[in-house]
Structure 1
C-alpha cells in the first residue's frame, strides 16, 4: 500500500507541464569519440562505402555518456576529451513569430552547438540546465541551396562536448568521481511563442504553526516586450492560478503585462491552513501561469509545497514545528553500463528504493543534479542538500570563480521552487589542495564568504552548508565535519563521542558522509579482526592518504576485509547510537549506490568506490536491510547472508545467525527446528537482539525466520552450505557454468587448494577473457560485471552474451594455471 501511494504521487508529478511544445530528442543520433579537423568534416556530403567517409560514426540514443564503459575499464584511463553528436531534424514551429530552442538538461563539460557550419551557442559547466536559440540560424540556413539539395528540408545539428582536464574549471579532477563527457541528460526541442516565460519563481511559505501560508509568484520572460499592444489592440496578460493537491483551483489572478524586463512580480496568494509538505505526506500544490497574446497561449506549471523548517541552535532539526531526525544518504549520477546517462526510469527506480529503505533526506553529491531527481524528491518526500561542484583542488583564478558563481546562481534559480530543498551547498572538501600552484586559506575563505552571501541574496529561505573545510565552518549556516569512525580512523564504537565533540563546535551541525566500503558477495566469519590493530582515541576524521590501500596508520579502510559483514556491523552501531542522541539533526550515509571514480584503481572492483548499500546496477547489498530495519515501519525481516552460499567452521561450532527486522519479535528455524523467539531491542547490538548462536553440522542448511508485530507476520528464508573441511593456499582454478537463460551464460570461477577444497577466505585477483562469438558483459563496475576483480570468498562470477555461437572463456590468476571453459 505504501509503495502504491508513492507511485501515484510520482504519476501526478510527472504530469506537470514544462514549456509548451517540448520534445525529447532521444533517437537518430550519431556519435564520434574524438575531435574533427573542422565542422565541415561533420556536414560534408560523402557517399556510403566511400573511403573518404571517415572518421567513423556510431548510432546512439540520448541520453548518452562518452564514458559509459571506459570509466570502469580496468586497463585504461577514462577518456577525457572532445566528442561529437549529430542528427538532422524536421523543424515545424507552430508559432508564427515563435522561437525554436534546444534545451539541455545537462551535458559535460564544455558544449558547442552548430546549425550546419554556423556555431549558434556554447556553454561551460556539466550539471546545470541551459538552452540555445536556433531560430535565426535555422531561418538563415533555409535560404541556402544545400537545405533542399543535400539535407532534403531537414536541419543538420552538430554538438561538440568536451570533458578535457582544465584547472580553471570545477569540479577538480582530483575529485573522487569521474568528470564525465557527453549529452548525458535529456535534450529537448522546444517551441515557444514570441512571449514566453523562461523561469517562474513561486515562493511558498508558512508561519511556524503552519496555520497560514502565502505564495509570491515572479516570472522572468525569455524575450523583451515587443509592440504587441499596437499589433493586437491590447498587451499580453498572465492568468496565475494556485491549484490544490487534488487539482482544484483555489485562487487565481489575471495580470496585464506592461513590461517583460527583469523579474516581473505577478501575484501574491494567502492561504489558510494549507496542507503541509513532509516526508510522511509530500503533498504538492501547483502554480500555473498562462500567458495570452495574439499568437495564442503559453502555459507554465510549477509544483510547490508548504513547509517550514529550522535548525535549532545546538539542537535538532525541526520540520513544521516537530523534531525530524534526518535519515539520509547520498547520490552520484552514475549507473552500470551507462555511467551518467541514466534514463528517467532508472532514476525513478533508484529513488523509490531509497524511500523504501527509509530515507527522508539526501545530499546530492557533488553537483547540481537532474530536474527529474528533484521532482522525485518532491513527490516522494525526501529533503535535499544540493551543492555546486567546487570540490577539492583549491581555488583557481577569475575564470574559475566566474564558473562557480554562475553554477550557484543557476542551481538556485533552476531548483528554487522545489519544497524538498532545504540546503544549498557551497562546496565539498575545499581544504584539499592540489590543482593550483598555491593554496591560500584566506583566499578560499574570502571566496566562500562571497558564495555564501550570493546564495542568501538569491534565496534567503534556505540554509547554506559545506562539508569538511574546518577553516570555513564559521561562514556557512550548517557545517559537516569529517567523521569516519570505524573506517578511515578509529573504531565505530567511537562514533557518538566523536560526533558530540564536533557538535559543540558549531551552531548548526549535520553529519554527512559516513560508512565504509564493502565488496558485494564477500562475507566474513570474523569481520572485526582488523579492529585489533586500529589505534583508538585518535579521532575519526579522514586525513591525507587515508583512502589509499598502502602505507600509513592501521585503519579498517586499508587493513579490513571489505566484507559486507563488517559494513553491516558498522551501520548497525551508528543507527542504534543515533536513537540515543536527541540533539542530533541527522546524518547521511555515503553513498546509496557504488559509483565509479578515477582515483581508486586498486579497489576490489577497479575504479569503483564501493561504499554503497546497493551495487552500481542497484542490486541490494546486505546493509540495505540494516537501514530498513531501523528506518521503516512497513514490517520486514531479512536473514543476513542471502549472497553467502558457503559458511565455514568446525563441526557443531556455534555460528551467529542475524536477522535484521523492524518487527517486535522474531522466531528462527534452522533445518526445521525452532531456536526460540527473540524480542527486538534497538540497543542490543548487533541486529537489535535478533541473533541466534546455532551449532551447525557439515552440509546443507535451511534457515527461516518469522517476524511478528501483533497479528502481522513477515517471513524470510535462505539456504547455504556449511563447510568444515579446512583448506590450504589456492592451487588451482575451476571454471563452471552456473546457468544460461535468454542468451546469457552465468559463469563462476572457484579457487581450490591442492586437495580440491574451496578456499573460502581467498581474495586473489582474477582476470576473465573470451574468444569466439560471444561477448563478455564487463565494464559494469560490479563484482559480477568486471573482467578484473578480486574474488569474494574464493569465487567470482562473470556473464557472457553467447550470441548463439561458440566461445571459449578463460580465467587466470597470478601464480595459478589458467583455466578454460567451452561455451
Structure 2
C-alpha cells in the first residue's frame, strides 16, 4: 500500500485554496447592495478647493428646500463623492454601479477616471466599474447637472427639474458570467405576455447575458411560481448566445384584475454552470389582457373596467423629487383611499417603488417620457436636437419598466404644440418625429398601447398613437355643459380613435374660501383660488364624465399640490395648487372627498368647507359628500332636516340660517346600524 505523506496533503490543500478564489467567487450569485449613505455634495465651482462638502444621504437634491414661495430654484452642477472599499472577497468578480436616477445629466468618475455618463434624469443607468477599481479604498464622484439643455429631456414643462442623485444607488457584484445589468438599465430579464386568458397564458422571457466564458456549458433556468411558491411553469435551455428567449405556458392562470385582485406571479431566472447557480435575477408579473374600445372604453380581461384617477408628479414637500419609499407609500395609501383605479405618471418615468406599489395594489399606469410642450415657455416644446435623447429615454423606459403588469399605456408626449396658424407654422413640426417614436415604441413592446396628451386640435396628431387623450380645463359655471359638448365633438372627429381625458381640474387653496361663488373665473392667472371653487369645477366635470363610459380614461390634474417655478397664481408663488391633497399630504381638500364619495362603496360622509371658519353671511348653503342615500343636518343642536344625495353624491341644504358668533354644524348618516358624522364650527362676524 502506498503511504501518503501528510505534508503533501497539507500542501495540496493549500494549493487548492490558493487557486480557488477565481472559480469560487465566480460561482457565487450576485450581491445587490444599496449605497445611499456616506456621500458628500459640493458645488462644482470649487476653484479654491475650500468649498464645504456637505454630508448627505441619498436620494438627494440641492433644491429640496424649494418651498418658500419664491419663483426660483437652482439649475447648476454639483459633485457627489463617496468612498468605496474593494475587499478581497470581490477579487475576480465584476462590479457595477446602478443609478436609478440622476437629474438630469451625470458624469461618473472612479479614482478620477471617467467610468461613464448618462443623459436624462428620470431613467436608470448602469456602469461597470470592474476595470476602474483597485483593492482597498476607491473614490467615486458623480457630477450631476440640471441645467436646461436642448439635447436632454425635458426641454420645457411646468414642473421643476430638481437636480441631484434623486433616486437610490446600488452596487451590484456578479461573477464573470452574469445576467446583464447593462441592457438599457433594465433588470436583464424582460417579460412579454404574448397571450392571456382565463384558460391559458403564454409568456416569453428574454434574458440578456454578459459572458466572458462563452463556451463554458452554461444553462439558463427560468421558473415561474404562484403566490404560494408552487411552480406553474418552467424552462431550462443551454446558453447559446447573449440574448435568450424562453417561452412559458401557464394553464388556468389567476389573472391580475386591477384593484379587485392584483395577483402577482414570481419569476426566477438562474444562470447555471455544472449544476451550480452562478447568477440569479427575480422579477414579478401579473397576467392580464386589456384593450380600449372607442365605444366601451377600457377593457381588462374582457370586462369593462372604468379608469379614473390622477396625474401624479414625483414631488413632496421638504424633499422635492428625492422621495423615499415611505413617501411613495403615503401617496399610494391616499390613492387607494380615494377609490382611484389609475395613475398617469406625469411627465416622466418615476421611481421604481411607485410601479411596484401599483402592481401590488392593482392601479393601472400610464408611464410617459418627458417630451413636454412649453408649459409657459415661448415655443412648441420640440426641437430636433432633442430627438436622440427622446429615443434613448423611450428605450430605457420600456425596457426598465415592461415587467410591471400595472403599465398598460406608454405615453409619447405631453402638450407639444402644432398647428397651421401663426406663429406655430413657423416652428419645426413635431408630428413626423412623434410618428417615429410611436413606431419605435411598438417595436420595443408590441403588447401595450401608445398614447399622447394634447391641448391643441387632435387632427394634427391623428395616427401618431393608438389612443387620444385631452388636457382640457373649463370654468366652474359651465364645466358640465362645456365638458360634455367638447368631448362629444372630440369623439365625433377622432376617426375611430378612442378618446380620453388626460388632464382636467382647477386650483384650490385650503386658506382661501368664498360664499357664495361669484366670479366667472377665479383661476389662471388669478391669485384667488377658493377651495369651494375647485370643488364646484370638479362637480361639473364629473357630472359630464360619469355618463360617458367611452372616455377610456379620466385622470385629474393633479394628485397633490406641487412646485412649479413658472407658476404665479393662487396663494403661493411657484406652486401649482390643483392637487386633491396638499404638498405635504397632510390635508385632503374637499374635492378629495367628492371623488371618494363617487368612487368608493365603504360608507363615508364629509362636511364641506370646514376650514371656512370665519364668515360674513348669516345665510348660507351647507354641502356634504356621501356615498349613502341621504344625510341629516343639525345647526347648534337643532335638526334642520334630512336631504338626499344627488347622482354625483352631493347633499345640499339651501339657505341655512346661522347665528352671530359661533355655530356648531353637524351632519349624520346611517348605514347598517352605524352612524357616521362630521362636524365643524363656523363663526359669523
Q: TM (normalized to structure 1)?
A: 0.74
Q: In the TM superposition, what is the alpha-carbon distance from 1:105 to its structure 2 partner?
A: 0.6
Quick one: distance in 1 between partners of 2:550 and 2:582? Answer: 33
**Partner in structure 1 of residue 599 of structure 2:** 631
Q: In the TM superposition, what is the alpha-carbon distance from 1:57 to its structure 2 partner?
A: 1.5
Quick one: distance in 1 between partners of 2:577 and 2:545? Answer: 24
Q: Does 2:50 correspond to 1:62?
A: no
| Secondary structure in 1 matching 2:133 | helix
Quick one: distance in 2 between partners of 1:690 and 1:257? Answer: 69
* Aligned residue pair count: 635
For 1:122-201, list aligned pairs within 5 A: 122-139=117-134, 142=135, 153-173=136-156, 175-198=157-180, 199-201=188-190
Q: Does 2:254 correspond to 1:274?
A: yes
From 657, 682, 685, the equivalent of 1:720 is 682
Quick one: distance in 2 between partners of 1:396 and 1:625? Answer: 38
Q: Deviations over 1:698-736 (max 9, x none)?
A: 12222222222343432222223222xxxxxxxxxxxxx
Quick one: distance in 2 between partners of 1:92 and 1:438? Answer: 59
| Secondary structure in 2 matching 1:423 | strand
| Secondary structure in 2 matching 1:450 | helix
Quick one: distance in 2 between partners of 1:395 and 1:700? Answer: 53
Quick one: distance in 2 between partners of 1:76 and 1:383? Answer: 34
- The range that moved more, 517-526 or 454-463, is 517-526
Quick one: distance in 2 between partners of 1:526 and 1:718? Answer: 19
**Partner in structure 2 of residue 400 of structure 1:** 386
**Partner in structure 2 of residue 466 of structure 1:** 452
**Partner in structure 2 of residue 501 of structure 1:** 489
Q: Does 2:630 correspond to 1:661?
A: no
- The range that moved more, 444-453 or 663-672, is 663-672
Q: In the TM superposition, what is the alpha-carbon distance from 1:228 to its structure 2 partner?
A: 5.7
Q: Deviations over 1:428-467 (max 9, x none)?
A: 111179xxx9966774211111100001111111111111
- 8 Å CA contact 1:670–1:703 kept in 2: the answer is yes
From 26, 30, 33, the equivalent of 1:23 is 33
Quick one: distance in 2 between partners of 1:623 and 1:133? Answer: 48
- 8 Å CA contact 2:528–2:570 kept in 1: the answer is no
**Partner in structure 1 of residue 610 of structure 2:** 642
- The range that moved more, 100-109 or 23-32, is 23-32
- 8 Å CA contact 1:668–1:674 kept in 2: the answer is yes
- 8 Å CA contact 2:359–2:404 kept in 1: the answer is yes
Q: Does 2:97 correspond to 1:111?
A: no
Q: Does 2:493 correspond to 1:513?
A: no
Greater relative contact order (CA < 8 Å, ≥ 6 in sequence): 2
Quick one: distance in 1 between partners of 2:305 and 2:674? Answer: 27
From 641, 658, 668, the equivalent of 1:676 is 641
Q: In the TM superposition, what is the alpha-carbon distance from 1:395 to its structure 2 partner?
A: 6.5
Q: In the TM superposition, what is the alpha-carbon distance from 1:381 to its structure 2 partner?
A: 1.0
Q: Does 2:582 correspond to 1:615?
A: yes
Q: In the TM superposition, what is the alpha-carbon distance from 1:77 to its structure 2 partner?
A: 2.7
**Partner in structure 1 of residue 25 of structure 2:** none
**Partner in structure 1 of residue 544 of structure 2:** 577
The unaligned stretches of length 5 or more in structure 1 are 1-18, 38-51, 143-152, 230-234, 535-554, 724-823
1:395–1:282 distance in 2 versus 1, CA, 3 Å: same
Quick one: distance in 1 between partners of 2:262 and 2:82? Answer: 40
Quick one: distance in 1 between partners of 2:118 and 2:30? Answer: 23
Quick one: distance in 2 between partners of 1:161 and 1:85? Answer: 8
Q: In the TM superposition, what is the alpha-carbon distance from 1:518 to its structure 2 partner?
A: 1.1
Quick one: distance in 2 between partners of 1:349 and 1:692? Answer: 37
For 1:234-633, list aligned pairs within 5 A: 235-260=217-242, 263-293=243-273, 296-392=277-373, 393-394=379-380, 399-431=385-417, 443-468=429-454, 469=456, 470=458, 471-486=460-475, 491-506=479-494, 507-527=497-517, 529-531=518-520, 556-558=523-525, 561-619=528-586, 620-633=588-601
Q: In the TM superposition, what is the alpha-carbon distance from 1:227 to its structure 2 partner?
A: 4.7
| Secondary structure in 1 matching 2:488 | helix
Quick one: distance in 1 between partners of 2:646 and 2:570? Answer: 36
Q: Deviations over 1:108-133 (max 9, x none)?
A: 11101111211111111101110111
1:168–1:342 distance in 2 versus 1, CA, 3 Å: same
Quick one: distance in 2 between partners of 1:518 and 1:372? Answer: 29
- 8 Å CA contact 1:204–1:304 kept in 2: the answer is no
Q: In the TM superposition, what is the alpha-carbon distance from 1:267 to its structure 2 partner?
A: 3.3
1:267–1:311 distance in 2 versus 1, CA, 3 Å: closer
Q: Does 2:130 correspond to 1:120?
A: no
Quick one: distance in 2 between partners of 1:287 and 1:721? Answer: 60
| Secondary structure in 1 matching 2:499 | coil
1:438–1:696 distance in 2 versus 1, CA, 3 Å: closer
Q: Cα RMSD between the aligned structures?
A: 2.4
The unaligned stretches of length 5 or more in structure 2 are 1-28, 181-187, 374-378
Quick one: distance in 1 between partners of 2:641 and 2:271? Answer: 69
**Partner in structure 2 of residue 8 of structure 1:** none
- 8 Å CA contact 2:508–2:534 kept in 1: the answer is yes
For 1:82-121, list aligned pairs within 5 A: 82-92=77-87, 94=89, 96-121=91-116
Q: In the TM superposition, what is the alpha-carbon distance from 1:246 to its structure 2 partner?
A: 2.8
| Secondary structure in 2 matching 1:318 | strand
Q: In the TM superposition, what is the alpha-carbon distance from 1:276 to its structure 2 partner?
A: 3.5
- 8 Å CA contact 1:210–1:308 kept in 2: the answer is no
Quick one: distance in 1 between partners of 2:318 and 2:35? Answer: 21
Quick one: distance in 2 between partners of 1:567 and 1:601? Answer: 17
Q: Deviations over 1:200-233 (max 9, x none)?
A: 11123544x5332222111112x2341562xxxx
Quick one: distance in 2 between partners of 1:504 and 1:682? Answer: 26
- 8 Å CA contact 1:637–1:660 kept in 2: the answer is yes
| Secondary structure in 2 matching 1:530 | coil
Q: In the TM superposition, what is the alpha-carbon distance from 1:258 to its structure 2 partner?
A: 2.2
- 8 Å CA contact 2:203–2:249 kept in 1: the answer is yes
Quick one: distance in 2 between partners of 1:519 and 1:432? Answer: 33
| Secondary structure in 2 matching 1:557 | coil
Q: In the TM superposition, what is the alpha-carbon distance from 1:515 to its structure 2 partner?
A: 0.4
**Partner in structure 2 of residue 786 of structure 1:** none
Q: Deviations over 1:277-318 (max 9, x none)?
A: 322211111111122237843221111111111111344221
Quick one: distance in 2 between partners of 1:35 and 1:560? Answer: 38
- 8 Å CA contact 1:638–1:716 kept in 2: the answer is yes
Q: In the TM superposition, what is the alpha-carbon distance from 1:54 to its structure 2 partner?
A: 0.2
| Secondary structure in 1 matching 2:664 | strand
For 1:4-19, list aligned pairs within 5 A: none
- 8 Å CA contact 1:485–1:493 kept in 2: the answer is no
- 8 Å CA contact 2:372–2:381 kept in 1: the answer is no
For 1:762-777, list aligned pairs within 5 A: none
1:103–1:689 distance in 2 versus 1, CA, 3 Å: same
Q: In the TM superposition, what is the alpha-carbon distance from 1:138 to its structure 2 partner?
A: 0.3
1:444–1:626 distance in 2 versus 1, CA, 3 Å: same
- 8 Å CA contact 2:504–2:555 kept in 1: the answer is yes
- 8 Å CA contact 1:102–1:188 kept in 2: the answer is yes
- 8 Å CA contact 1:241–1:287 kept in 2: the answer is yes
Q: In the TM superposition, what is the alpha-carbon distance from 1:34 to its structure 2 partner?
A: 3.9
Q: In the TM superposition, what is the alpha-carbon distance from 1:602 to its structure 2 partner?
A: 4.9
